[in-house]
Amino acid sequence: MTAAARELASRHHQALLTEAGASDIDQDLIGRLLLDAIVAHWRQTRRIADIASELDFVRANLDPNADYTFMRP
């Protein structure tokens, strides 16, 4: 993943949230719709098991304060 790709996605995401806010569209709804669109995009080129693995990785790392199991105190 490149910094340019991350910046591009972030810029478009922020523009979407701004436009949704101006139209009084709930940001949580936007998040769910984006997730639907991302999964539909991935299904064009990736196996379902691969998508599930990607989503499971995100789920497992949602808490930014959680320690990883391989970390030692």
Enter the pTM of the model: 0.77
- pLDDT tens figures, 9-42: 999 999 999 999 999 999 999 999 999 999 999 9
Burial class (CB within 10 angstroms; exposed 0-12, middle 13-18, buried 19+) of 55: middle
All structural domains of the chain with their residue ranges: 25-63
- pLDDT tens figures, 45-70: 999 999 999 999 999 888 888 876 66
- CB of 30 within 8 A of CB of 14? no
The pLDDT, as a whole number, for residue 70 is: 64
What's the token pair of residue 70?
């391989």
Number of CB atoms found within 10 A of residue 16's CB = 15
Determine if residue 24 is left, alpha or beta; phi over 0 gives left, psi from -120 to 50 gives alpha, anything else beta. Answer: left
